[in-house]
Structure 1
Amino acid sequence: MASPRHVPVLLDRVVSLLAPALERADGAAPDGRTVLVDCTLGLGGHTEAVLERLDRVRVVGIDRDPAALDLARARLAPYGDRFVGVHAVYDEIAEVVEELGLDHVDAVLFDLGVSSMQLDVRERGFAYAEDAPLDMRMDGTTGPTAADVLNTYSHGELTRVLRDYGEEKFAKKIAAAVVREREKEPFSRSGRLVELLYAEIPAPARRTGGHPAKRTFQALRMEVNDELAVLRRAMPAALGVVGVGGRVVVESYHSLEDRLVKQAFTAVTRSEVPPDLPFVPAGSEPPFRQVTRGAEKADADETAQNPRAASVRLRAVERVHPSSPGVVS
């Protein structure tokens, strides 16, 4: 098996956004330490930086990928009980927090999309550069694979997936070719799919916008792992578990992901008071404030060193008021 590499995106900026919530003296843990939930632990790059730089923090790392969890636990073992890894999907954050005996946390981090762990281990089937089984499950122990999607979805369903999740202009044409070719032999490996994409995407389009398989592989991965539906459930759950002064920080890499994050953040930072009212009545303040101005992006230097940073959009909010009896300060 190939060894995965891990280059966290916007690492310093992410830690600086989390720090004000994690350096407080009255944290969410029983001993007063602050608690971060890293909802997309991966190989633990962001978590390691937080544990190393902020010594009062405990981190709960969530990942649906058992292989990534094992590697992260080994990497973070030197930090002892300051780190705990949990096998779960990140929309289960409220349940994870409750099971750990916490009534709130101080910060939540999401680094969405596919991780280095999945991209760099050929056997997982996420990458299009090498021939591999068409799996793409973040949790390889459960659920349908990318091959199942290709071999069972109708032409219309495949077109929807490729168009909506991959923003693929030739979605209908590619879907028709998949349906035609699977009648000859079911799809099982990525190499055959890449060959089909080279054949179906016109040459002028292949010369722009990166690898011609990029959009289709992204779309299949998002469908296999139900990523948008999970994120749609996870955002309000994450916002609900942070106490006053707590922050939620999100890195997204796809326009649909960023749109969901933006909508969730706008909903909790927008005042419902009429704009012509001269004051905001007590109890009518929005529960959160925006920390970032819109979505922040990686600069040219970071993008040159780490191409995965090119599409990142970083947003953060901070809870300033409780919005329900269950949220504490």
Structure 2
Amino acid sequence: MFDFGTSTDQLMAEDRGLSFEHRQAKLDMRLDNRLGVKASDLLKVLTVKQLTQIFEDLGGEEQAKKIAKAIVRVRENNPADLEVVGSLVALISANKSRRSGHLHPATKVFQALRIAVNDELDNIERVLPQALALVNPGGRIVTIAFHEGEDRPVKQIFAEWEEQEKGVRISKKPIQPTETEINQNPRSRSAKLRIFERKE
């Protein structure tokens, strides 16, 4: 079973810069300190086009280009503002049109940066074939994704495996939490569960 994304402990770790609550934390976002590139590094070197693509593709941010342009403007005058969580949150909030909803204005950008820093989607594409090779016939691979970026490669890979007659998808559509579960565990609201059963 794969539970993609980050754990609550990782999100709340003050030294990672993943949570809005730790405004003075450095914009690191690495889940493994052996990785070389931090979130602040990406913000300082990527072009408007590259930042826009990351925010759109990995975070689903509708105002990606506007935010990317603001980041590039800030780094030209005061790059230190791209080092700390609170500064980036303030920058995003100031440059994003207000919309209703439960998400914090910076949620999607932070998600996109975390995925990019940790190469999370490539890791998903690498690990699933390894898992299939280890599962016995009749065994199942179960995944839980919390946003479209994580769920998309799983959906595509499971569909390809089914076409190749390596097994079957237990459900063509993802299984999502009930209202009761969401009320008991609000963090589950965006969860998508998929199951693939290896051919006998």
Deviation at 1:190, TM superposition (A): 0.5
Which residues in structure 2 correspond to 1:118-197 (within 5 Å)? Answer: 118-131=10-23, 132-186=25-79, 187-197=82-92
- Aligned partner (choices 167, 177, 186) of residue 298 of structure 1: 177
Unmatched 5+ stretches in structure 2: none
The answer on whether the counterparts of 1:126 and 1:134 sit within 8 Å (CA) in structure 2 is yes
C-alpha change, 1:189 and 1:314, in structure 2 (3 Å) is same
Residue pairs, 1:1-329, within 5 angstroms = 109-131=1-23, 132-186=25-79, 187-203=82-98, 205=99, 207-270=100-163, 286-321=165-200
Higher CA-based Rg? 1
Instruction: Report how far residue 189 of structure 1 moved.
Output: 0.6
Q: Secondary structure at the match of 1:315?
A: strand
Q: Please, what is the CA RMSD of the aligned residues?
A: 1.5
Decide which structure has greater helix share. Answer: 2
Higher relative contact order by CA 8 Å / sep ≥ 6: 1 or 2? Answer: 2
Question: d(CA) in 2 for partners of 1:153 and 1:236?
Answer: 31
TM-score, with normalisation over the residues of structure 2?
A: 0.92
Give the Cα separation in 2 of the matches to 1:160 and 1:319.
Answer: 35
Contact 2:2 2:142 in 1 (8 A): yes
| Equivalent AA in structure 2 for residue 139 of structure 1 | D
Give the number of aligned pairs.
197
Question: How far apart, CA to CA, are the structure 2 residues paired with 1:264 and 1:175?
Answer: 31
**Is residue 59–residue 149 contact of structure 2 (8 Å, CA) maintained in 1?**
no
Moved over 3 A (4+): none
Unaligned runs of 5+ in 1: 1-108, 272-285, 322-329
Distance (Å, rounded) in 2 between the aligned partners of 1:122 and 1:305: 26
